[in-house]
Amino acid sequence: MAELNGILCIDKPQDFTSFDVVAKMRGIAKTKKIGHAGTLDPMATGVLPLFFGRATKACDLLPRQDKAYRASFRLGQTTDTQDCTGTLLETRPVKAGKKEVEEALAAFRGEIQQIPPMYSAIKMDGKRLYELARQGIQVERKPRPVTIHQLELTGAEESSHTYTIEVHCSKGTYIRSLVADIGEALGCGAVMTALRRTMAAGFTLESCITLEQAQELAGEGDLEQQLLPVERGFESLPKVFLSAGQTRLFRNGVRLDLDRISCPISEGQTAVYGPESQFLGLASPTEGQLKLVKLFALEV
């Protein structure tokens, strides 16, 4: 089988880790070179972009790092993991209803400070926090700035103290911690009961297929047709189009004179295209020249 190159968005099933999905897809696609963008907890479902072949070089370069989630939570409880899979720490009376929950959300919109949960993959002194948490060790974590672009209450079951929110946030935001902080603001605590990622790296649920569908497509020899081109991950960037001669120079790492290129930006990154709009890679304007950042195309 020829090497697969491109992006495949999987709707991650519950109780799978992100690595479980990658391992499963390696077997389905019969390839080892797969990466993913944005780890999801086992209890979470939703958008998990997978990168195959040369597209794996894009994982750390994607310009869109914001994400969107649908989360449900229950008031009146706290757990050690901040979700319903953890050990129950406390049960408190709930006096808040839909109106109070909606009012509490206002304080969490915009840039906020968030303390990462102990059950997270953040490293401290060479060890991941969840490894320490499993040993019963608690360490002090410094608050970090995150941005909540949008936060809306979309569901309320007051009788069971269960609510649903839609969140659009910056990279590094922990929805479990957001829920826990909302619960503390209401004076009763809260645990997340469900989490579904609806957008990551600019990809949405509409772009996703299930692992079962991927298995079926692979069995029919049609999996490659399902892959999205790597440039889909860079659609939000400005574009530069090069001639055939400029393309040859660019592919060899030669810096190109901006005065001879119609470059839409003077700083940051741009997506570079060659003849017939073929995606070549990424570049950055530096001191009047277009400098190669990453090359994706092997042939032109």
Of the listed 11, 15, 20, 41, which one is catalytic? 41
Buried b (16+ CB within 10 A) or exposed e, 199-210: bbbbbebebbbe
DSSP, collapsed to helix, strand or coil, labels residue 105 as helix
Q: Tell me the pairing of strands 289-295 and 256-257.
A: antiparallel
The residue type at 72: S
Q: Are 232 and 7 spatial neighbours (Cβ–Cβ below 8 Å)?
A: yes
CB-side neighbour CA atoms (13 Å) of 99: 1
Q: Tell me the pairing of strands 239-241 and 270-273.
A: parallel
Q: Are 43 and 18 spatial neighbours (Cβ–Cβ below 8 Å)?
A: no
41 in catalytic set = yes
Residues 6+ apart with CB under 8 A from 237: 63, 269, 270, 271, 282
User: Which residues are designated catalytic?
Assistant: 41
